[in-house]
Chain A
Amino acid sequence: MKAKFLKRLLITFSIVISASLGILFACAGGDWDWFGYSNFTPETFVDKSYSPLFYSANEMFYGIGHDEEYITRFNDEIKNDWTTYLENKLNQNQVNYFLLNDSSTADIEGLYQFISKNAKNESFNKWNGKINLTDQKVKDFIEFIYFARQVEKSSINTYDPWDYENAPKPPKVDATLISQIQKKYQTSTNPFIKDRYWFQTVKAFFYSNSKPETITFFEKTKNEVPKNTLYYRALAYIAGVYYKDHNYAQSNYLNSIVFDKCLPLRVVTAYNFHPQEENDWKTALDLAKTNDEKAALWALLGYYADPARAINEIFKINPQNPHIDYLLTRLVNLEEENLRIEINESALKYKTELKNKLNQEAISVVNSIAQSEKTAKPYLWNMAAGYLQTLNGNYSLAKSYLAKAEKQIPQTQSVKNQLRLLHLINTLSEMDVMNSTNENILLPELDWLYSQSTDGTTGDIRCSAAIAWSKRYVSALYAAKNNVVFAELFNQNNVFYQNSTQLEAMKSFLLKENKTPFEKLAESIYSINLSDIFEYQAIMYTFENKIDLAFESMGKAGELKDQLLLGNPFNGKIQDCHDCDHLAAQKTKYSKLRFIEIIQIMQSKVAKGEDVFNNYLLLANSFYNISYYGNARFFYTTKIIDSYDKYYETIINNVEQAKSYYKKAFEAATNDEQRAKCTYMLAKCERNEYYTTNSGNSDWNNPPADYLAWDGFVTLKTQYSATKFYKDVIAECGYFKKYVGVK
């Protein structure tokens, strides 16, 4: 396992801190689906180098979680630099092999021996002929990698994290190596090579016992090298030396320069920026020599703690600075997180809560800057100001900001989509009532919104929040008008069908011909169709033992009527085991419709007095199996029934119908074997009723008993112990066996 020294270990956790943080996060309302709350897509507006620093409610760094590129961040740049330098003297694979493949170390050492001492060796034999080892550029390359690898032994170390003795002691770069590399820097005449040895010298000092000398060397030589990636990487090391020395002002100041100038290191510098006291911060600001440097420091503080304040300060320094745009996206996203409010009762109440909770500082900062029109992307500020005004309940003001933005936006699809989304949110938020005028206004916009990807990660803008929110909002407006059907269409609620008037109203709506375009839209977003409703009705009729109605309804359930039950629903076993019943060989499979039909047939047979015991027993088994305890739970698995809803739970846990048929079978029984069977089946029903009643009431300290001496057990023992069925029960039912005391 590779461990990276640069990567700081996570903060130590303690019994106290860690135990409590779980609660802290829970209180903070942590939600993995954070996109579900955001309508403002930072990617639309700012450079991707800021991306890890976008606001994320649940990741340390947005989109990447943890920064894992400490070793590999510059690989492509390094490869490209050397490939250009080598002018095809090595092919791309060879460059990659020597630069980035750990297994090339032995070859490099051998070739270095050849180049420096002309000692021919295995590596020489291996590569001679493949690459020109007398070419100066090739020699430079090999020699450089040789030294870089020596330093790398201290900067990248391989160790087992469970090895306490070795883990904390990486080897230090020794003084001889530093002086060799430094000499290379001093004597190299080729600027490309010289620059690279300069960086290696800084790095070597950093990983040596002479860490403070890193600064001395850097200060002495910094004007001799170009201000390129290597320079800023070196500067990041210097910031590290100052940090180690508790000079947080210098460290933070240098980090801000790197943040500003070296885009790949933005995430690293943001992580390392950490002022300890107000004085560190003030001193860092004093150290900043230019406006750009000051703005970069504020940008980091904005990321670290206070975007609104940082935006204000950067605006004073330079409204055109790109960091201010990045911070705006963070401010808006933070505000969205702050405003996670559900529409529970009415749209009006929801809007009042939003307004009350909105951070007025954010509104005021964004308004004043948007109005100034001085930033590099005035459309971004107008869009943000418009969005915040929507949340603030000032819809006409929001409209005017968005209208301004419309005239300023670049014609890219993502920005256009973002603007359209914010317009939509404002338009809908402004509505307090649903009527045909508003439906016509909304129709094209909702049509557009609902056709967007709901993934939230692959689309070019975040729209899953708006999709969910708009449905809830529209639903709330319909609910306020007691239009229960449309309230349900826009916000599906599993209690809706518990009311038969509502159910019939929905059927009428779905059956209606010549629907208006808005009605068609509402139907298209609703996941339940007529077949679902007929299936649902059939199931409920079955539970009520209204089998003729059940059969008629199921017949209208389209393909749903043909869904096959997983086991034989007429079986009644000693042990309830769904999986066993589902796996058991079954010649005839029963569809939901056929199942109801057979119940209907059996009921007509018992009415005529045909094979009464068997038909009653099978009827009992049928009703038992469609209860929660039986093998045919699939019978009531539909889009509508939520088996955890109390209303449905009461129905599916109920075994009254089964009991009544077992009793009738018992009365129709002609021998003790049959009676014993009915008695045992009644015991199962009694047990189920006990669990249904007691599992909800018991607390953890008093769980329900595994079994009690059910009446059926008592009767079976006292009256039917001579039957074969009695013995079967003892063989299969451990509880009964315990009850009768058989060892």
Chain B
Amino acid sequence: MKKNIFSYKRFFIQSKIFSIGIIGLLIGILSCNSAEESTDISFYYWKTIFKLSENENLALKENHVKNIYIRYFDIDINPNNQKPIPLSPIVYKQKIGNLRVIPVVYIKNKVLLQKNADIEDLAKKTFSYIQQINKQAGITCDEIQIDCDWTMESRNNYLKFIEIFKAISKMRLSATIRLHQIKYYLQTKIPNVDRGVLMYYNMGSIAADTLNSIYEKENAEKYLSSLKNYPLDLDVALPIYSWGVHIRNKRVINLINKANEISFSNDTNFIIQDNHFVLVKNSTIKYGYYFKENDKIKPEIISFNDLNEMANDLSQNLKHKPKEIIFYDLDSSNLNRYRDESQIFKKIINHF
């Protein structure tokens, strides 16, 4: 049944030639099934202090968000003793209410690249740390998400981590999956999790040229056809973040989180160029960064059109309809960028 709906929908999108009667019929079929097959809107929360702004609260309410994926901590290597260490754990400054929290732990690949890594110990400590945070915040959870850009060299440690973590936590597990891990899954293997979340962003290299490293259709297309072959069920994470790529002498020197051309428009030290790049007119300090005369900032943002394009392409290439689309990340400045477009998140999930 699910497959039928999906294929009808593809037809709907692709052909765009149909009679009102057929539309009516299709809508009828879609809506009949929407109760059990709808795609939910969810968000990642990626700040170190959990305190929702009015705007963020509103986004959760308006979109009937049930699940929130909260970054709990990163795991890095302690440079002093080369042992894994949790970094910047989340601090709850607000009650979570009725939201279902899925803790997300980001493991830096270098942790798993260590040849002598004690994976069992790491899995135990990771789970215990999540439990400690939950206990203090009065949260119960039934699912945990592991985020790691594992590589061929760290693959075995990662897969082992997932196995052990699953056994210890006895919880539903999900894992973020990068596009290359989908295309080359025979080599990168598939973690033993209940579902994957396809990170549909960060597809290009961060460069001084005009391409957008967050999303470029031509980059994405290299991977889209592989989605159907991927054996694991996938939900999707879509980007709503932005950043500025800080360029000096044609070289990338920094990434400035959440910066776009508007961030510099009221400062006479900067000139907005026709291609939306920001040119530094006079050396100055802003947002904690030093901008030298003639530096450039390339704003990389994701437009509503980009999101539509992504959703459209994905809906045509995913094997199954995703149960939820998780937007990265819930933050007022990200939400504000789309404020002129009403019901944006609903419009995006309607593609699926």
Binding site for B on A (CB under 8 A): 1, 9-10, 12-24, 26-28, 65-66, 68, 161-165, 168, 274-278, 280-281, 301, 304-306, 309, 338, 359, 700-701, 703
Q: Across the interface, do A165 and B136 meet the contact criterion of CB distance under 8 Å?
A: yes
Q: Across the interface, do B186 and A700 meet the contact criterion of CB distance under 8 Å?
A: yes
> For residues 160 through 209 of chain B, which have their beta carbon under 8 Å from a beta carbon of chain A?
176, 178, 183-184, 186-187, 199, 201-202, 205-207
Which chain A positions have C-beta within 8 A of B48? 12
Q: Across the interface, do A12 and B87 meet the contact criterion of CB distance under 8 Å?
A: yes
Bound form: Cα–Cα A703–B127 in Å: 37
Q: Across the interface, do B46 and A359 meet the contact criterion of CB distance under 8 Å?
A: no
Q: Across the interface, do A14 and B252 meet the contact criterion of CB distance under 8 Å?
A: no
Bound form: Cα–Cα A26–B252 in Å: 11
Which chain B positions have C-beta within 8 A of A274? 288
Q: Across the interface, do B257 and A17 meet the contact criterion of CB distance under 8 Å?
A: yes
**Besides A18-B74, A23-B205, A304-B290, 16 new A-B residue pairs in contact (Cβ under 8 A), listed by A number:** A14-B46, A14-B71, A15-B104, A15-B147, A15-B328, A18-B106, A19-B178, A22-B149, A27-B206, A27-B252, A28-B251, A164-B89, A165-B132, A281-B285, A305-B290, A703-B186
Shortest Cβ distance from B180 into A: residue: A700
Query: CB-CB contacts of B268-295 with A at 8 A, as 1s and 0s?
Result: 0100000000000001111110101000
Q: Which of A14, A19, A65, A164 has the most CB of B within 10 A?
A: A164
Q: 30 A–B contact pairs at CB < 8 A? A: A12-B87, A13-B106, A15-B44, A15-B46, A15-B176, A15-B328, A16-B329, A17-B255, A18-B108, A19-B149, A22-B149, A23-B206, A26-B205, A65-B79, A162-B129, A164-B86, A164-B129, A164-B132, A165-B136, A168-B89, A168-B91, A277-B286, A277-B287, A305-B292, A306-B283, A306-B292, A309-B283, A309-B292, A700-B183, A701-B229
Which chain B positions have C-beta within 8 A of A17? 255, 257
Bound form: Cα–Cα A19–B237 in Å: 14
Bound form: Cα–Cα A427–B326 in Å: 62
Q: Across the interface, do B290 and A306 meet the contact criterion of CB distance under 8 Å?
A: yes
Which chain A positions have C-beta within 8 A of B283? 306, 309
CB distance from A164 to the nearest CB of B (A): 4
Bound form: Cα–Cα A274–B287 in Å: 11
Bound form: Cα–Cα A338–B329 in Å: 35
Bound form: Cα–Cα A20–B256 in Å: 12
Asked if B128 is an interface residue, CB under 8 A from chain A, the answer is: yes
Asked if B88 is an interface residue, CB under 8 A from chain A, the answer is: yes
Asked if B224 is an interface residue, CB under 8 A from chain A, the answer is: no
CB distance from B45 to the nearest CB of A (A): 11
CB distance from A515 to the nearest CB of B (A): 46
Which chain B positions have C-beta within 8 A of A305? 290, 292
Q: Which of A1, A12, A21, A28 has the most CB of B within 10 A?
A: A12
Q: Across the interface, do A162 and B125 meet the contact criterion of CB distance under 8 Å?
A: yes
Bound form: Cα–Cα A15–B106 in Å: 7
Asked if B76 is an interface residue, CB under 8 A from chain A, the answer is: yes
Of the residues B133, B206, B226, contact of A20 by C-beta under 8 Å: B206
Q: Across the interface, do B252 and A161 meet the contact criterion of CB distance under 8 Å?
A: no
Known: A1-B81, A12-B48, A16-B202. A24 touches B87 (CB 8 A): no
- Give 6 nearest A-B pairs by CB, closest first: A305-B290, A164-B132, A12-B88, A700-B184, A23-B205, A162-B125
Q: Across the interface, do B255 and A24 meet the contact criterion of CB distance under 8 Å?
A: yes
Bound form: Cα–Cα A168–B48 in Å: 13
Asked if B85 is an interface residue, CB under 8 A from chain A, the answer is: yes
Q: Is the interface of A mostly helix, strand, loop or mixed?
A: loop
Shortest Cβ distance from B85 into A: residue: A161
State the interface size on chain B (CB cutoff 8 A): 62
Which chain A positions have C-beta within 8 A of B71? 14-15
CB distance from A188 to the nearest CB of B (A): 37
Of the residues A14, A65, A280, contact of B106 by C-beta under 8 Å: A14
Asked if B210 is an interface residue, CB under 8 A from chain A, the answer is: no
Q: Across the interface, do A15 and B288 meet the contact criterion of CB distance under 8 Å?
A: no
Bound form: Cα–Cα A436–B176 in Å: 65
Query: CB-CB contacts of B230-246 with A at 8 A, as 1s and 0s?
Result: 00000000010101000
Bound form: Cα–Cα A276–B133 in Å: 32
Q: Across the interface, do B286 and A20 meet the contact criterion of CB distance under 8 Å?
A: no
Q: Across the interface, do A13 and B108 meet the contact criterion of CB distance under 8 Å?
A: yes
Bound form: Cα–Cα A575–B35 in Å: 61
Shortest Cβ distance from A309 into B: residue: B283
Q: Across the interface, do B85 and A21 meet the contact criterion of CB distance under 8 Å?
A: no
Asked if B14 is an interface residue, CB under 8 A from chain A, the answer is: no
Shortest Cβ distance from A281 into B: residue: B285
Bound form: Cα–Cα A240–B183 in Å: 49
Asked if B78 is an interface residue, CB under 8 A from chain A, the answer is: yes
Bound form: Cα–Cα A1–B226 in Å: 46
Query: CB-CB contacts of B103-121 with A at 8 A, as 1s and 0s?
Result: 0101011000000000000
Q: Across the interface, do B80 and A68 meet the contact criterion of CB distance under 8 Å?
A: yes
Bound form: Cα–Cα A280–B286 in Å: 10
Asked if B342 is an interface residue, CB under 8 A from chain A, the answer is: no
Bound form: Cα–Cα A304–B86 in Å: 28
Which chain A positions have C-beta within 8 A of B251? 28, 338
Q: Across the interface, do A13 and B76 meet the contact criterion of CB distance under 8 Å?
A: yes
Shortest Cβ distance from A17 into B: residue: B255
CB distance from B80 to the nearest CB of A (A): 6
Of the residues A21, A66, A280, contact of B79 by C-beta under 8 Å: A66
CB distance from B179 to the nearest CB of A (A): 11
Of the residues A18, A20, A168, contact of B213 by C-beta under 8 Å: A20
Q: Across the interface, do B292 and A16 meet the contact criterion of CB distance under 8 Å?
A: no
Known: A16-B202, A68-B80, A306-B290. A23 touches B106 (CB 8 A): no
Q: Which of A15, A66, A309, A701 has the most CB of B within 10 A?
A: A15
Asked if B266 is an interface residue, CB under 8 A from chain A, the answer is: no
Shortest Cβ distance from B125 into A: residue: A162
CB distance from B218 to the nearest CB of A (A): 17
Q: Across the interface, do B255 and A21 meet the contact criterion of CB distance under 8 Å?
A: yes
Which chain A positions have C-beta within 8 A of B186? 700-701, 703
CB distance from A170 to the nearest CB of B (A): 15
Bound form: Cα–Cα A338–B249 in Å: 9
Bound form: Cα–Cα A700–B149 in Å: 18
Which chain A positions have C-beta within 8 A of B44? 15
Q: Across the interface, do B285 and A276 meet the contact criterion of CB distance under 8 Å?
A: yes
Known: A12-B87, A16-B328. A276 touches B288 (CB 8 A): yes
Which chain B positions have C-beta within 8 A of A281? 285
